[in-house]
Amino acid sequence: MKTQVAIIGAGPSGLLLGQLLHKQGIENIIIERVSADYVLGRIRAGVIEQGFSDLMKEAGISARMEAEGEIHSAVEIAVNGEVHSIDLEGLTGGETVTVYGQTEITHDLMDARIASGQQTFYSIDNTELHDIDGEKPYVTFEKDGKTERIDCDYIAGCDGFHGVSRQSIPKDKITEYEKVYPFGWLGLLADTPPVNFELIYIKHERGFALCSKRSSTRSRYYLQVPLDEKVEDWSDDRFWEELKHRLPESVVSQLVTGPSLEKSIAPLRSFVAEPMQYGRLFLVGDAAHIVPPTGAKGLNLAASDVSTLYRILTKVFSEGRTDLIEKYSEICLRRVWNGVRFSWWMTNMLHTFDHSEIEDKIRNSELGFFLSHANRRQILAEQYVGLPYEPIE
């Protein structure tokens, strides 16, 4: 097979890139290790920045998000029972976020992919990248026991943190920065009305909690848990009881419990690989960087990478502007490091860990400082709604 761009991974990064390139008349093939249903079964992000929703519009796949997504003009932070509202819209001059699940975005992108007629291979094995530093890179993989080969001009590594793309770059050409946090998030999804319209980030002495949602009838809650905790040890009842302990008194009576649709534990990590490009391979989204979910930035950083790459590749194919290729990494990394710093800051401030009383006092003082004046809340609001995308030139 031959194509212009081979895309590894059919998560949101790969599918969105494929759609945007398709709209520019650039041919691409996507290959994905697992099945489409498996991709859709992963419950992940829920908060979409303005820049991402604008990109969805540009990609022509925003109709359902505009009809069903919820616009949120504020977010709440509860500290030791006291709830503070951050007026995102007022503090940023009109910016908001949209609550629309990653599963729904992926669904919309998969539908658009089928309509585009571009090829996608699911449930493949043994993806290998070849000659990425040469003029004629190619990708091989196995489908139903048969080896396939895609010759291409460029490869987009959209295959997540555990993918092969980043690992295909020689060790001496890439630097990896990593921090693993000493706790995880236990998430529960339920068809119950959310406890509150706005999301609430809760700092509590028993540990952090987050009240999020997917719609007015579907809730998503998270609890900070020790890293060695097992999901099997958390019955739904135990989850709801623990959440009640952490919820501020003003909302606890609104909590509606019910059977979980999904429950899982995610470890928290900050990770960046530099640079994000080597030869004809570009790393996109979680393949290049991971942030803890506390700032709701992971998927949004993936979207800004996609925006940068598709604009660069459009110029490469339409105007021969290969000089732009080397700008990809530096443009992305400026925004990525900002997201990494914001997510690390929110994580440190809101979680309870180290069992050190003085550290906890310091964290409370820092939160108090940032919540107590509008000009300080503005710092938080501007980053929560997302920094602007940098133009490619």
Rule CB under 6 A: say whether 350 interacts with ligand PHB: no
201: annotated active-site residue: yes
181: annotated active-site residue: no
CB neighbour list of residue 89: distance below 8 Å, 6 or more residues apart: 73, 74, 95, 96
Separation of alpha carbons 231 and 114, rounded Å: 36
From the list ligand PHB, ligand RFL, none, which binds 9 (C-beta under 5 to 8 Å, kind-based)? Answer: ligand RFL
Residue 247, Cβ density class (10 Å: 0-12 exposed, 13-18 middle, ≥19 buried): buried
What phi and psi values does residue 63 have, to the nearest 5 degrees? -55, -50
> Is the Cβ of residue 11 or residue 248 nearer to ligand RFL in the bound state?
11
122: annotated active-site residue: no
Question: Cα dist. 171→52, 175, 176, 278, 307 in Å?
Answer: 32, 8, 9, 11, 27
Closest CA to 149 of 2, 321, 44: 2
CB of 44: closest distance to ligand RFL in angstroms? 3
Question: Cα dist. 272→17, 38, 55, 85 in Å?
Answer: 20, 26, 23, 31
From the list ligand RFL, ligand PHB, none, which binds 33 (C-beta under 5 to 8 Å, kind-based)? Answer: ligand RFL
CB atoms within 10 A of CB 168: 22
From the list ligand RFL, ligand PHB, none, which binds 339 (C-beta under 5 to 8 Å, kind-based)? Answer: none
Separation of alpha carbons 245 and 200, rounded Å: 15
Q: In the numeric block, which tokens belong to residue 32? A: 């994905």
> Is the Cβ of residue 309 or residue 350 nearer to ligand PHB in the bound state?
350
Candidates 57-65, 227-235, 283-291, 292-300; binding stretch for ligand PHB (CB under 6 A):
292-300
CB of 292: closest distance to ligand RFL in angstroms? 9
From the list ligand PHB, ligand RFL, none, which binds 11 (C-beta under 5 to 8 Å, kind-based)? Answer: ligand RFL
Q: Which of 279, 293, 339, 386 binds ligand PHB (CB under 6 A)?
A: 293
Separation of alpha carbons 57 and 172, rounded Å: 39
Residue 40, Cβ density class (10 Å: 0-12 exposed, 13-18 middle, ≥19 buried): middle
Footprint of ligand RFL on residues 115-134 (CB under 6 A)?
A: 127
CB 236 within 8 A of CB 260: yes
Q: Catalytic one among 293, 310, 328, 389?
A: 293
107: annotated active-site residue: no
Rule CB under 6 A: say whether 164 interacts with ligand RFL: yes
From the list ligand PHB, ligand RFL, none, which binds 220 (C-beta under 5 to 8 Å, kind-based)? Answer: ligand PHB
Q: Catalytic one among 201, 221, 278, 310?
A: 201
Rule CB under 6 A: say whether 46 interacts with ligand RFL: yes
CB of 385: closest distance to ligand PHB in angstroms? 13
Separation of alpha carbons 385 and 277, rounded Å: 27
Mind telling me the catalytic residues? 72, 201, 293, 297, 384
Contact residues: ligand RFL, CB under 6 A: 8-14, 31-34, 39, 44-47, 102, 127, 158-160, 163-164, 185, 187, 266, 285-286, 293, 296-300, 302
Contact residues: ligand PHB, CB under 6 A: 45-47, 199, 210, 212, 220, 293-294, 296
